[in-house]
C-alpha cells in the first residue's frame, strides 16, 4: 500500500535545488504527482505531492531530507496525507480574475475576502509587483471555482465596487479551457 505526502522546501535560490529534492524521492522509489516550484525574488519555493512505497515509513522519509537541508540550506516540511485528504473536492465553475493597479496595502486581502464571503474557492494565485522606478504596478491573477449558488453578476458587481474603492482594475472571465 502506498503512502501519499506533501513536501514543501524553502531556501535561498541556487542551482541544484530541484535536482536535490527530486533525487531524494527517486532514490526511494517515490512517484511525483502535482507540484508547484518557483522562484520568489531571491528564494526558491517547492510544493510537491508524491506517493511512496509502503517500505518508506514517516521516520525514514523525514530522515531522507536532513542531509539535503544541510547541503542546500533548505527548510523542508513533510506532511503525510490521509486518505480523506486525497479525495478530490467537487469542482465549481472555473473563473479567472485579474486585478491590477498602483501597488498599495490590502489588494490581495480585500479581493480574497470578497471571494471568501461569496463562497468562491480560490485555487491558484499569482502576484507580481514591478520593481524599480515608482509608482510600482501590482498585478494579481487568481483562478477561482464558483459553486452553483454563487451569482456571477452579483460577484462581479462586488468586485467592481471594490476595484473602484481601491483604484485597481478588476476583471472576471469564465476560464477558457479550449486553446483553438
Partner 1 sequence: MSVLSIRRLPDPLLHQPTRLIQHIDEPVRRLIDQMISTMRRHPRCVGLAAPQVGSDLRIAVVDTSGHPKAAKSRGLLVLVNPAIDAAEGMALQREGCLSIPDFTADVRRAKRVHLRAFDASGTLFDCWLEGFEAIVAQHELDHLDGTLFLDRVANLATDVFKRKSYL
Residues that bind partner 1 in the complex, under the rule CB under 8 A: 96, 98, 100-102, 124, 126, 128, 130, 135, 137, 139, 141-143, 169, 171, 173-177, 179-180
Tell me the closest approach of the beta carbon of residue 139 to partner 1, in angstroms: 7
Report d(CA 152, CA 34) in Å as an integer: 29
Q: CA torsion angle for 104, 109, 110, 116 (degrees, to 10)?
A: 160
Tell me the closest approach of the beta carbon of residue 174 to partner 1, in angstroms: 7
Instruction: Select 135 or 147, whichever has its Cβ closest to partner 1.
Output: 135
Instruction: Select 60 or 161, whichever has its Cβ closest to partner 1.
Output: 161
Q: CA torsion angle for 62, 66, 69, 71 (degrees, to 10)?
A: -150
Instruction: Select 70 or 173, whichever has its Cβ closest to partner 1.
Output: 173
Q: What values do phi and psi take at 154, rounded to 5?
A: -65, -45
Tell me the closest approach of the beta carbon of residue 162 to partner 1, in angstroms: 16
- From residue 96, give the alpha-carbon distance in Å to each of 26, 76, 101, 145: 35, 31, 17, 9
DSSP summary character for residue 86: G
Tell me the closest approach of the beta carbon of residue 138 to partner 1, in angstroms: 8
Instruction: Select 77 or 128, whichever has its Cβ closest to partner 1.
Output: 128
Amino acid at each position: 500500500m502506498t503512502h501519499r505526502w506533501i513536501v514543501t522546501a524553502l531556501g535561498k535560490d541556487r542551482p541544484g535545488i530541484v535536482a536535490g529534492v527530486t533525487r531524494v524521492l527517486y532514490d526511494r522509489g517515490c512517484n511525483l504527482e502535482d507540484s508547484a516550484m518557483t522562484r520568489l525574488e531571491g528564494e526558491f519555493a517547492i510544493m510537491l505531492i508524491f506517493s511512496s512505497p509502503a517500505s518508506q515509513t514517516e521516520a525514514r522519509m523525514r530522515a531522507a531530507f536532513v542531509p539535503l537541508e544541510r547541503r542546500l540550506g533548505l527548510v523542508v516540511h513533510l506532511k503525510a496525507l490521509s486518505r480523506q485528504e486525497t479525495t478530490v473536492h467537487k469542482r465549481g465553475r472555473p473563473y479567472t480574475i485579474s486585478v491590477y493597479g498602483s501597488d498599495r496595502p490590502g489588494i490581495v486581502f480585500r479581493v480574497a475576502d470578497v471571494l471568501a464571503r461569496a463562497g468562491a474557492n480560490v485555487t491558484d494565485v499569482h502576484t507580481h509587483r514591478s520593481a524599480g522606478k515608482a509608482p510600482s504596478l501590482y498585478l494579481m491573477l487568481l483562478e477561482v471555482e464558483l459553486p452553483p449558488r454563487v451569482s456571477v453578476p452579483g460577484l462581479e458587481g462586488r468586485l467592481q465596487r471594490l476595484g473602484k474603492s481601491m483604484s485597481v482594475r478588476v476583471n472576471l472571465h469564465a476560464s477558457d479551457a479550449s486553446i483553438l
